[in-house]
């Protein structure tokens, strides 16, 4: 059944769960507050979805919310597999890693921010494409998602790690931070503050994939989710993610303000070099010392890189 496309506003998944960013303590979420927020946005579809989530004494039940988010991440994984997202992440990480190694770096740590159920970390580990000198870790605030990521990694016999943590507060910072689909959740100064977290001596590069905005993106996302997705929350938030996505220029400007020690560029806005917009693009940042090596190792894929600023 087709449904009304949301026009703007917050995603349901952001509204039904809340954590303290320092302690990671989970905060109670009042169902009435969440419903009132979406009523104010005139988003009745979101209201109907939230009304079905069980509550206890007015607070959304944590277990019910977690199971809903796990189911949603399962559907997101299927889309990532169909769009070969793991391969695209590897396409950027491999030349980045070669550049770092040629510059003398060893024992390189990669941390996936907001990893969810860990599809990208698990995919990269399963393909063994990064090298034995690379440690890859997925970090997320949500203990239920991390538990599911660990369960899946164990079933798949993978040598990767998942931690319930703020990715930027680990005992040992990453050399490379990566993410998929988180940048559009941060608006204005919040986006600046997120990107500022890369300003630490140990961090040498970052790669953040997110939806690529275009005139076709909202209707294309709406049609795809209507046909391919089953979970109402996944349909709602998936379409809204495409609508809320940051333009490439805005991401570059934010990166220049927040992380001036890095040079930055956008990767993969067009399909096969044609004027056909890709579903995802990536904000790429790296230390200037590795610029020439990175460009060299990109090979033919350099055509997909924008101007490095």
Span 194-210, pLDDT tens digits: 999 999 999 999 999 99
More confident: 272 or 1: 272
Contact at 8 Å (CB) between 170 and 139? yes
What is this structure's pTM? 0.91
- For residue 1, the model assigns a pLDDT of 39
Which range, of 66-80, 159-173, 198-212, 219-233, averages the lowest pLDDT? 219-233
Strand boundaries in 46-194, DSSP class E: 55-56, 59-60, 108-113, 134-140, 161-164, 176-180
Integer Cα distance of 294 and 208 in angstroms: 17
For 223-256, b/e burial (b = at least 16 CB within 10 A) is ebbeeebebbbbbbbbbbbbbbbbebeebbebbe
Closest CA to 122 of 92, 85, 97: 85
Please list, in sequence order, all residues whose beta carbon lies within 8 angstroms of the beta carbon of residue 240, skipping any fewer than 6 positions away: 6, 8, 9, 11
- Kind and range of the H or E run holding 107: none
More confident: 76 or 187: 187
Q: Which fold has domain 74-304?
A: Rossmann fold (3.40.50)
Contact at 8 Å (CB) between 53 and 64? yes
What are the structure tokens assigned to 241, written together? Answer: 């993610």
* Chain region(s) in the chain for CATH 3.40.50.150: 74-304
- For residue 240, the model assigns a pLDDT of 81
Integer Cα distance of 244 and 239 in angstroms: 9
Q: How many CB atoms lie within 10 A of CB 161?
A: 17
What is the per-residue pLDDT across 162-198, written as a single tens digit (0 to 9) for each? Answer: 999 999 999 999 999 999 999 999 999 999 999 999 9
Contact at 8 Å (CB) between 110 and 176? yes
């Amino acid at each position: 059944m087709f449904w009304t496309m949301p026009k703007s506003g917050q995603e349901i998944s952001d509204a039904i769960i809340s954590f303290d960013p320092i302690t990671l303590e989970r905060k109670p979420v009042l169902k009435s507050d969440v419903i009132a927020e979406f009523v104010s946005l005139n988003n009745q579809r979101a209201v109907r979805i939230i009304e079905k989530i069980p509550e206890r004494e007015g607070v959304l039940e944590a277990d019910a919310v977690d199971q809903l988010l796990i189911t949603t991440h399962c559907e997101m994984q299927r889309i990532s597999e169909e769009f070969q997202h793991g391969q695209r992440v590897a396409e950027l990480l491999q030349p980045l890693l070669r550049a770092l190694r040629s510059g003398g770096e060893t024992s390189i740590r990669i941390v996936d921010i907001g990893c969810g159920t860990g599809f990208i970390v698990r995919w990269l580990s399963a393909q063994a494409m990064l090298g034995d000198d690379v440690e890859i870790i997925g970090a997320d605030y949500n203990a239920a998602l991390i538990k599911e990521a660990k369960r899946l990694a164990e079933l798949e016999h993978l040598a990767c790690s998942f931690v319930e943590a703020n990715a930027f507060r680990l005992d040992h910072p990453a050399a490379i931070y990566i993410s998929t689909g988180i940048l559009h959740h941060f608006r204005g100064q919040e986006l600046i503050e997120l990107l500022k977290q890369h300003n630490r001596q140990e961090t040498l590069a970052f790669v953040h994939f997110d939806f690529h905005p275009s005139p076709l993106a909202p209707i294309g996302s709406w049609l795809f989710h209507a046909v391919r997705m089953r979970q109402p929350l996944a349909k709602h938030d998936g379409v809204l993610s495409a609508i809320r996505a940051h333009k490439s220029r805005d991401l570059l400007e934010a990166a220049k303000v927040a992380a001036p020690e890095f040079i930055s560029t956008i990767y993969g806005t067009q399909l096969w070099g044609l004027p056909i917009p890709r579903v995802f693009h990536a904000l790429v940042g790296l230390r200037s010392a590795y610029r020439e090596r990175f460009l060299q190792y990109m090979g033919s894929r350099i055509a997909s890189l924008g101007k490095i600023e």
